[in-house]
Amino acid sequence: MPAQYANLIFPLGVLVVFYFILIRPQQKKGKEIREMRNSLKVGDEIITIGGIYGKIIKIKDDIITIEVGSDKTKLPTTRWAIGAIVSQNGGPDE
């Protein structure tokens, strides 16, 4: 019996190592990104996953309208396309 358990220890150990090295950090990063996207406010300066810098001017459900460029072109995009917040400015409430 102990030899059978010894043969299971190595594969289980490898699975545990993979979990802590690969899976858990990826889940943690995904959670941080979801929290960042849910905390977006009007006035925040963002960068999209495509590399477009803009300022949020309108949020409606999953559609976010941003102003880009010096001519203030309005560009609608989806919430999941936001890659990072460059600076958090308060919205019109603040």
- Bigger pLDDT: 91 vs 73: 73
- Bigger pLDDT: 11 vs 46: 46
CATH class of the 2-87 domain in this structure: mainly beta
> Contact at 8 Å (CB) between 75 and 66?
yes
Could you state, in order of their start, the residue ranges of all structural domains in the chain?
2-87
Q: What is the mean pLDDT of the chain?
A: 89
Q: What is the pLDDT of residues 30-61, one digit of tens each?
A: 999 999 999 999 999 999 999 999 999 999 99
pLDDT exceeds 50 at position 93: no
Following DSSP, what letter does each residue of 43-91 receive, concatenated? T-EEEETTS-EEEEEEEETTEEEEEETTTTEEEEEEGGGEEEEEE----
Instruction: Specify the pTM.
Output: 0.72
Q: Is the dihedral of CA 58, 41, 70, 49 positive or negative?
A: negative
